[in-house]
C-alpha cells in the first residue's frame, strides 16, 4: 500500500471554448495531466454548434481512462444574422454557464482550468471556492497584448489605426496596426467589447498556463515574468508548459494512401499546405494559389477546402466538414496537370504524421498556434499565410524574430491578394533556396529544444509538476 499522497489523485476540471483550435490543445493538456502527472480530469464539452469532427475526436478510444469527457446539454441560443465569430462563440459560452455550473457542483474539482473565452466561469469558481487557472491556447506574444489591452483601452480615445506608431506592450516587441487581431480594429464592435471583457479578467486567475517555452518566445516570456508593468497589474504566475501537441491520430484508409505516397518522395522535398480547421481562401486567391503552386514545379500535399469570399474564418465552427466538392474550386485541369507531383486532399489530412515524415520539407500554414507548435516540434520551416484571429501576430514573430518562416508579399501593400509569381517564389525558396536551408536549420534547433523541455528534468515538465504538486498539497490539507 502506498501513502495517501501516492494514492490520491487531484481532480481537475477543464473547460475549453468551442472550435477545434481550442478543443485540441486543452485535450492534449488533459492527457498530459492524466498520463504524466497522475491526475483525474473532467473535460467539460460545450456541444452547442459542435462539429462532427469535434465529436469524433472526443469519442476516440485512445483517450486514457482517467480522462472523462462530460458532454454538457446543448443550450438553445438565438443568433443575430450579422453576429461576428468571436461574439457568437462568447454568446454560446454564456448561454451554457448554467450547465457548466451544474457539472462542476455535481463532481467538485480541486481546480478548474479555463479557456480564454470562458472567463465568466471564474464567477462560478469564486462562489464555490475553487481555484481557477487559465490555459492560454494562443502565443505568449498575444497574451502580452491581451494583458496590456485594458490599460491601452483606458489611455487611448481614438481607434488604434489612428495611433502614430505600433502598439508596444511593455517589454515586448512592437505590434504594427496591420498585424493586430481584427477583433480590436473596431472599438465600437461587439467583438472588441468581448475581447476587452475577457482581457480584463485574466488577472483574476490563480495561474496562467502557456503552451510555449523559453527558446521559442524568449522576449515575451521574460517580459511577463520580469517587467514591472505586469507585476503592477497583478498578473498571475505564468507557467510555460509547452509545446503540448498531438502525438498520435487515428488514420483512415485515405490517410494511409497519403503517407504511402510520401514514402516514395525524396527527403525534405514536399510542401504540406493546410490552413487549419477553420481557414478559407477567397475564390481569386484560390486561383492564384493553384497557379503559383503549379508554376513552382515542387511536390506538395494540399488540404483543399471550399472558398469563401465573405470570411477567412468561414469554416471555424463547421471545421471544414463539407468535403465533397472541394476540387471544383480549383482551376480547370489543375489536378490532372499536377498528377504525380502533388496530392489534393479534401478537408482533412493526418497532419501530425505528415509533419513528422522525413519527406516533408515545408509547411504552408495559417499560423494558428496549434499548427505552429506542431511544425516546431517536428522541425519543419514554414510559409506564413495568416488569415484571422492572432495569426498575423504569430506570422510576424515567426518570420522576423524566430527565423523559421517566410511571409509572402501581397500584390499591393494593404491588399490581401498574393499573386502567383510570389507564391512560386516562396515555395521554391523554402524547398530549394539557401534561405530555406537556413530556416530549416533553425527549425531543427528549436525541435531539439522542444524535446528537451518536455523530457524528465526539462523546464516545461518541471513547471507543470510544480503546479500539480501544489494541487496535491491542497487536496491533502482539505482531507486532513
Catalytic residues: 22, 115
Question: Which SS3 state, helix, strand or coil, does residue 211 take?
Answer: coil
Of 386, 344, 379, 377, the closest CA to residue 362 belongs to 379
Long-range contacts, 329-333 (Cβ 8 Å, 24+): 329/283, 329/286, 329/304, 330/286, 330/290, 330/304, 331/287, 331/290, 331/291
User: What are the grid coordinates assigned to 168, written together?
Assistant: 508596444
Burial pattern 442-462, b for ≥16 Cβ within 10 A else e, equals bbeebbebbeebbeeeebbbe
3-state secondary structure labels for all residues of 178-202? HHCCHHHCCCCCHHHHHHHHHHHCH
Could you give the CA distance from residue 313 to residue 388 in angstroms, rounded to a whole number? 6
User: What are the grid coordinates assigned to 438, written together?
Assistant: 537556413
C-alpha angle 100-101-107 in degrees, rounded to nearest 5: 95
Phi-psi region of 206 (alpha: psi -120 to 50; beta: other; left: phi over 0): alpha
CA atoms within 13 A of residue 144's CA, in its CB half-sphere: 26
Contact 270, 361 (CB under 8 A): yes
Q: How many residues does the chain have?
A: 480
Could you give the CA distance from residue 377 to residue 136 in angstroms, rounded to a whole number? 18
What is the Cα 409 distance to its own chain's centre? 24
Beta pairing class for 11-15 and 111-114: parallel
Q: Where are the alpha helices (DSSP H) in 18-156?
A: 20-37, 52-58, 85-95, 97-106, 121-128, 140-155
Amino acid at each position: 500500500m502506498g501513502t495517501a499522497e501516492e494514492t490520491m489523485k487531484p481532480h481537475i476540471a477543464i473547460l475549453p471554448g468551442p472550435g477545434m483550435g481550442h478543443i485540441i490543445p486543452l485535450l492534449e493538456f488533459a492527457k498530459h495531466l492524466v498520463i504524466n502527472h497522475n491526475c483525474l480530469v473532467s473535460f467539460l464539452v460545450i456541444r452547442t454548434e459542435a462539429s462532427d469532427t469535434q465529436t469524433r475526436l472526443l469519442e476516440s478510444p485512445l483517450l486514457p481512462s482517467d480522462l472523462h469527457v462530460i458532454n454538457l446539454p446543448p443550450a438553445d441560443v438565438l443568433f443575430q444574422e450579422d453576429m461576428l465569430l468571436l461574439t457568437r462563440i462568447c454568446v454560446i459560452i454564456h448561454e451554457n454557464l448554467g450547465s457548466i455550473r451544474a457539472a462542476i457542483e455535481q463532481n467538485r474539482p480541486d481546480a478548474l482550468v479555463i479557456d480564454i473565452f470562458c472567463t465568466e466561469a471564474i464567477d462560478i469558481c469564486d462562489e464555490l471556492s475553487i481555484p481557477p487557472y487559465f490555459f492560454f491556447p494562443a502565443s505568449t506574444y498575444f497574451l502580452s497584448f491581451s494583458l496590456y489591452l485594458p490599460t491601452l483601452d483606458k489611455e487611448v480615445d481614438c481607434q488604434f489605426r489612428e495611433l502614430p506608431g505600433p502598439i508596444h506592450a511593455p517589454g515586448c516587441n512592437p505590434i504594427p496596426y496591420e498585424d493586430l487581431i481584427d477583433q480590436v480594429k473596431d472599438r465600437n464592435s461587439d467583438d472588441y467589447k468581448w475581447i476587452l471583457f475577457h482581457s480584463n479578467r485574466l488577472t483574476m486567475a490563480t495561474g496562467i498556463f502557456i503552451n510555449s517555452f523559453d527558446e521559442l518566445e524568449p522576449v515575451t516570456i521574460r517580459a511577463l515574468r520580469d517587467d514591472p508593468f505586469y507585476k503592477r497589474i497583478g498578473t498571475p504566475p505564468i507557467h510555460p508548459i509547452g509545446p503540448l501537441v498531438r502525438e498520435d491520430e487515428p488514420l483512415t484508409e485515405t490517410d494511409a494512401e497519403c503517407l504511402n505516397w510520401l514514402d516514395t518522395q525524396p527527403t525534405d522535398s514536399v510542401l504540406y499546405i493546410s490552413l487549419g480547421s477553420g481557414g478559407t481562401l477567397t475564390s481569386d486567391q484560390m486561383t492564384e494559389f493553384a497557379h503559383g503552386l503549379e508554376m513552382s514545379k515542387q511536390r506538395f500535399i494540399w488540404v483543399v477546402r471550399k472558398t469563401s469570399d465573405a470570411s477567412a474564418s468561414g469554416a471555424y465552427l463547421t471545421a471544414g466538414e463539407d468535403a465533397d466538392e472541394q476540387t471544383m474550386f480549383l482551376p480547370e485541369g489543375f489536378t490532372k496537370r499536377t498528377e504525380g507531383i502533388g496530392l489534393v486532399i479534401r478537408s482533412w489530412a493526418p497532419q501530425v504524421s505528415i509533419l513528422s515524415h522525413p519527406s516533408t520539407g515545408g509547411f504552408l500554414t495559417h499560423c494558428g498556434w496549434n499548427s505552429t507548435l506542431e511544425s516546431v516540434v517536428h522541425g519543419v520551416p514554414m510559409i506564413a499565410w495568416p488569415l484571422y484571429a492572432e495569426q498575423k501576430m504569430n506570422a510576424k514573430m515567426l518570420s522576423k524574430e524566430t527565423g523559421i518562416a517566410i511571409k509572402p508579399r501581397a500584390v499591393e501593400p494593404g491588399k490581401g491578394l498574393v499573386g502567383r509569381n510570389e507564391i512560386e517564389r516562396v515555395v521554391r525558396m523554402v524547398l530549394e533556396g539557401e534561405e530555406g536551408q537556413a530556416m530549416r536549420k533553425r527549425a531543427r534547433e528549436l525541435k531539439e529544444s522542444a524535446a528537451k523541455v518536455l523530457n524528465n528534468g526539462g523546464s516545461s515538465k518541471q513547471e507543470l509538476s510544480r503546479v500539480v504538486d501544489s494541487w496535491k498539497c491542497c487536496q491533502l490539507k482539505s482531507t486532513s
